[in-house]
C-alpha cells in the first residue's frame, strides 16, 4: 500500500500547486526606492491639500489626522485624493460641455444599484469653476 502512495504525483512537473495558484514574486526593487516613492506620494498629497485650501480660502486640517483635509467655513468639508489613475473620461465629458453665457460645465455621475437600493450621484466640476462659485481667492 505504501508503494501505491509513493507513485502518486504529489508535485506537478511545472512546480505549481494543483489548484493553479502561484506563489508571490519576490520584491525586485530595493527598499530605498520604495521608501522614496512613498515619501514622494505623501508629499504630493500634502501639496494638493495646501493648494486646495489656498484656492478656496479655507483651512488645511489634514495634518491632524481626521477624515477631512480642508475646511471652508461652514460651507465645505473636503477630502483630497491624489491618484495615479486619473478619471480622464470625466475630464473629457466636462470638456465637451459649452461654457457660453457664463455656464459652468457640471457632470453628474450616477450608478444603478438595482431594486431596493438608492441611486448614488456625484457632482463633478473643475476646481476653478467650483472656486468661482463658492470660494474666495486667498
CB-count burial class (<10 Å; 0-12, 13-18, 19+) for 110? exposed
Residues, the chain, total? 138
- For 136: left if phi > 0, alpha if psi spans -120 to 50, otherwise beta; the answer is beta
- Sheet with 59-60: strands ordered across: 59-60, 70-72, 76-78
Q: What is the pTM of this model?
A: 0.68
Per-residue model confidence (pLDDT) at position 11: 57
User: What value does the mean pLDDT take over residues 113-118?
Assistant: 93
The DSSP result for 33-59, as a single string, is: HHHHHHHHHHHHHHHHHHHHHHHHT-E
For residue 21, what is its C-alpha cell?
495558484
Q: What is the pLDDT of the chain when averaged over all its residues?
A: 85
What is the residue extent of each domain of the chain? 31-82, 86-138
Per-residue model confidence (pLDDT) at position 79: 95
Long-range own/partner contacts, residues 7-16 (CB < 8 A, 24 or more apart): none
Per-residue model confidence (pLDDT) at position 88: 93
- Residue in 105, 109, 111 with CA at minimum distance from that of residue 127: 105
Span 48-96, pLDDT tens digits: 999 999 999 999 999 888 899 999 989 889 999 998 888 999 999 999 9
- The answer to whether 57 and 136 have CB atoms below 8 angstroms apart is yes
Per-residue model confidence (pLDDT) at position 138: 43
Amino acid at each position: 500500500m505504501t508503494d501505491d502512495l509513493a507513485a502518486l504525483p504529489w508535485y506537478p512537473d511545472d512546480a505549481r500547486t494543483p489548484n493553479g495558484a502561484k506563489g508571490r514574486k519576490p520584491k525586485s526593487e530595493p527598499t530605498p526606492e520604495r521608501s522614496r516613492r512613498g515619501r514622494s506620494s505623501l508629499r504630493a498629497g500634502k501639496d494638493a491639500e495646501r493648494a486646495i485650501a489656498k484656492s478656496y480660502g479655507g483651512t488645511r486640517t489634514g495634518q491632524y489626522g481626521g477624515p477631512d483635509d480642508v475646511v471652508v467655513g461652514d460651507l465645505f468639508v473636503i477630502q483630497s485624493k491624489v491618484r495615479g489613475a486619473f478619471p480622464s473620461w470625466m475630464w473629457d465629458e466636462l470638456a465637451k460641455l459649452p461654457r457660453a453665457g457664463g455656464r459652468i460645465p457640471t457632470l453628474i455621475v450616477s450608478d444603478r444599484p438595482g431594486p431596493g437600493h438608492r441611486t448614488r450621484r456625484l457632482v463633478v466640476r473643475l476646481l476653478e469653476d467650483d472656486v468661482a462659485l463658492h470660494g474666495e481667492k486667498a
